[in-house]
């Protein structure tokens, strides 16, 4: 059976993404590989302005187009929206795209997004503020989209001033840096690469539309002795390399690293930095299946010395964007995992030779307690198995 494409669905649901604009054909190209996968999509701007039952056309398009039963489609609007969707995967929240506290709560609720689509106010200052917050919270391998960039050319970014050219052209001027981010390896500068350098691999400019490919950008120059290889660390390597064991939980780790952003290791619960300022861990989220999330709990120690509350799997613990690194962490088992597995916590800390090793439920911190975490790893072992020699 032939499946409807995005152009047909846009016409069916009367969204301006096809007709008034020609976005749908570009989305068909860039989002096709997500269609049957489990994704979390955030669309800013539901439409219909202040009408609580107006808008929602594009959310219905995504509802029809994405097929995976566990996909989540999140719509955000500054106005209250009361429309009902037949698809329980569609979630609606009220809030401003420049309200950082609101965006933080949204991210805490859904985690990193696979697709972010900014169809909100279109005011350049809003577009840039939203991008700076949400791009680091877009998953590597994901897509970030900015619609209606024509407002960048208008004075004040408003349609009422569409006849007045804005020479500063703020939105487009900001995103003109994209080629430099992508090609930073070719610039032999002594400075560290930025987060945007390290996490941008592609950019596509269309009429009134920008599509950005987010992923780890560590491709080296074939000629220039660039910053790649000298400054960029492999965040995915373990602190202690041990073979994967059968019969133990498969779990990953998301860590927010200062000066870098969210680093996601879905293979094992380990993230390691070079321990140089500001690259210390500021918060963590253990990544596990929904059936396992209540079987592991963890908390983190802030730089102030205060411990957070215990949270279960897939929940975030710590801070982001506050320049406050963690100084310790603790993990414990719950439910039917208690007694079934042994758990070993491994920590690498600022200016400390060697590693700190602790068992389940104890605190993985340095003796003086004030050192920042540069790397961490969690090992799950069958309870009948003793720790490998050398531990």
Active site residues: 122
Q: For residue 73, give the H/E element and its range.
A: strand 72-77
To 5 degrees, how large is the angle CA 191–CA 197–CA 198?
100
Instruction: Look up residue 123 and give its two tokens.
Output: 């005011």
Q: What is the CA radius of gyration of the chain?
A: 23
d(CA 65, CA 36): 9
DSSP structural state of residue 154: B
Cα torsion angle, 376, 378, 303, 102, sign: positive
Pairwise CA distance, residues 276 & 231, whole Å? 10
Cis peptide before 108 (omega within 30 of 0): no
Beta strands in 198-340 (DSSP E): 200-206, 209-214, 252-257, 261-265, 270-272, 281-287, 296-302, 311-312, 317-318, 326-333
Here the tokens at position 242 are: 């041990």
What letter does residue 161 receive in the DSSP assignment?
A: G
């Amino acid at each position: 059976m032939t499946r409807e494409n995005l152009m047909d669905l846009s016409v069916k649901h009367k969204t301006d993404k096809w007709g008034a604009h020609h976005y749908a054909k570009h989305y068909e190209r860039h989002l096709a590989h997500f269609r049957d996968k489990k994704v979390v999509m955030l669309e800013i701007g539901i439409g219909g302005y202040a009408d609580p039952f107006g808008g929602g056309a594009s959310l219905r398009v995504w509802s029809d187009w994405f097929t995976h039963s566990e996909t989540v489609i999140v719509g955000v609007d500054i106005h209250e929206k009361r429309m009902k969707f037949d698809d329980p995967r569609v979630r609606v929240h009220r809030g401003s795209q420049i309200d950082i506290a609101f965006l933080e709560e949204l991210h805490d609720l859904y985690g990193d997004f696979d697709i972010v689509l900014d169809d909100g106010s279109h005011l350049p200052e809003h577009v840039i503020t939203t991008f700076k917050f949400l791009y680091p919270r877009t998953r590597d391998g994901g897509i970030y989209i900015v619609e209606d960039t024509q407002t960048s050319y208008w004075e004040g970014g408003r349609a009422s001033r569409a006849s007045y050219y804005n020479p500063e052209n703020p939105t487009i001027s900001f995103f003109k840096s994209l080629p430099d981010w992508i090609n930073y390896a070719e610039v032999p500068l002594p400075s560290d690469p930025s987060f945007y350098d390290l996490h941008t691999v592609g950019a596509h400019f269309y009429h009134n539309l920008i599509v950005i490919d987010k992923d780890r950008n560590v491709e080296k120059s074939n000629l220039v002795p660039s910053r790649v290889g000298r400054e960029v660390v492999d965040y995915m390597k373990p602190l202690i390399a041990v073979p994967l064991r059968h019969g133990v939980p498969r779990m990953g780790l998301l860590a927010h690293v200062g000066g870098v952003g969210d680093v996601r290791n879905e293979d094992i619960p380990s993230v390691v930095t070079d321990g140089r300022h500001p690259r210390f861990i500021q918060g963590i989220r253990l990544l596990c299946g929904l059936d396992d999330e209540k079987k592991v709990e963890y908390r983190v120690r802030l730089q102030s010395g205060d411990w957070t509350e215990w949270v279960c799997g897939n929940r975030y613990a710590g801070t982001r964007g506050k320049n406050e690194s963690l100084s310790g962490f603790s993990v414990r088992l719950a439910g039917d995992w208690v007694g079934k597995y042994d758990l070993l916590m491994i920590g690498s800390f600022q200016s400390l030779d060697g590693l700190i090793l602790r068992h389940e439920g104890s605190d993985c911190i340095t003796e003086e307690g004030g050192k920042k975490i540069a790397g961490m790893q969690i090992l799950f072992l069958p309870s009948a198995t003793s720790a490998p020699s050398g531990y």
